[in-house]
Amino acid sequence: MKPSSSPSEALLRGLSGAVDVDAELDDRHLLQALLDAEAALARAGADAGLLPGPVADEIARHCHADRYDPAALGTAAEAAGNPVVPLVRELTAAVAPPARAWVHHGATSQDILDSALALVVTRAGVPLLRHLDAATAAAAGLARAHRDTVMVARTLGQQAAPTTFGLKAAGWLLGLHDARTRLAQARAALPAQLGGAVGTLAGYGRSGLVVADRFAAHLGLAAGPLPWHTRRQPVLDLAAALGGLLAATGKIALDVGLLAQTEVGEVAEGGPGRGGSSAMPHKRNPVDSVLVTAAARRGPGLVGTLFAAAGQEHERATGGWHAEWEPLLDLLHLAGGAAARTARMLGNLRVHPQRMRANLDATGGLLLAEAVATRLAPALGRAAAHDLVARATTAASFRDALLADPDVRAHLSEADVDAALDPAGWLGSTAALVDRALDAYERGTG
């Protein structure tokens, strides 16, 4: 077996990421994005008439990541505080002498690195959104298939009242759908960065705005009205969107893990060969739920770092900007893995309606205490009805206690009591809510 150049990533990072998303986040792809920014800068300068077209072509010809060593550049980056400085040095040495004066012309390191990270986000967003779309579609399928599957709703960790699994899945669906919308918006709004040393575009004379707009166009990024060297809202919007995605997937993972507990048993993760234990042959652990939950718990710290780094000094930051790079890439890594695992988890989820019904019946109708009190309230008043029913809940048989109470029988027949204790009669607007959620999803993706 070929040894890995990064053992910790080989052993651990695959547990939190997705291969196709992570491929866009590795050193080679980040390096290519830096070089794409340098090539776009040269072409933008040529568009503005600042340098000859053949010079721009010569610079672009050398902007290929396989010509450079990411590890060596990373080592050299420590002296300057970022990898752009040594990369520009190597790129300048590589091009023909007439082109050397035009490499990185008018730009500063932050212009290239911010624009490159925007490219990385844009490119990694393609597989990330694809996984998120698959997860959303799987949630929609569960909501549709289990629109009327009755189960226990739980509040504060306790059984509360009847609901449907379709409504639970509809909540998952809209959480994912909203997260997808916010992420797509933040990704599409990421602007190219070009301002020069202090954000004045002075290196381009009167052609600065033309160069900046053409630079963005060559990169396929939005053209912002101003350089955003210390105005970090684009990063904050992206961080919030990625954090929201992790929260949405984490909520689903937590629900699935709880519903899959042996004592509950209402769902189980599917997929052959998954969930085994090193010690207990009988176990089938909810692995995707566990890993997505882990990713979701790491997200807030990374989002917090990016927000904490956003207060930056004057025209260029002294550390705040530098603090963003790795947390941003880590957020993308975690979001990609969470989206992919949520898609697999929901796509293979095994739902057990009979176990849901058994858990619903386990308390002998206590879940319908509110329904009984509601039927009595017009005659007795809300508080009195509540107290009467509460007393009945302490009996060995809730139904028998209700039928034995003269105050109940004065207003409810045995048939009325049984109707009140039927879970299907206390579902409110669940079916309509599921339909509304599915309609919102279908209109949003149509």
Catalytic residue ranges: 277, 316
Which two tokens mark 201? 């575009």
Please, are residues 239 and 328 in contact by the beta-carbon 8 Å criterion?
A: yes
CB atoms within 10 A of CB 394: 8
**Which long-range contacts does 14-17 make (Cβ < 8 Å, 24+ apart)?**
15/291, 15/294, 15/337, 16/291, 16/294, 16/295, 16/298, 16/333, 16/334, 16/337, 17/333, 17/334, 17/336, 17/337
State the Cα angle at 64 between 63 and 66, rounded to 5°.
145
Separation between Cα atoms, residue 111 and residue 212, nearest integer Å: 10
Q: Which two tokens stand for residue 363?
A: 């308390």
Buried b (16+ CB within 10 A) or exposed e, 143-173: bbebbebbbbbbeeeeeebbbbbbbbbbbbb
Residue entry with tokens 């050193």: 27
Contact 42, 56 (CB under 8 A): yes
In contact, 41 and 363? CB cutoff 8 Å: no
**Whether 365 contacts 312, CB under 8 Å:** no
* Cα 15 from Cα 29, distance rounded (Å): 21
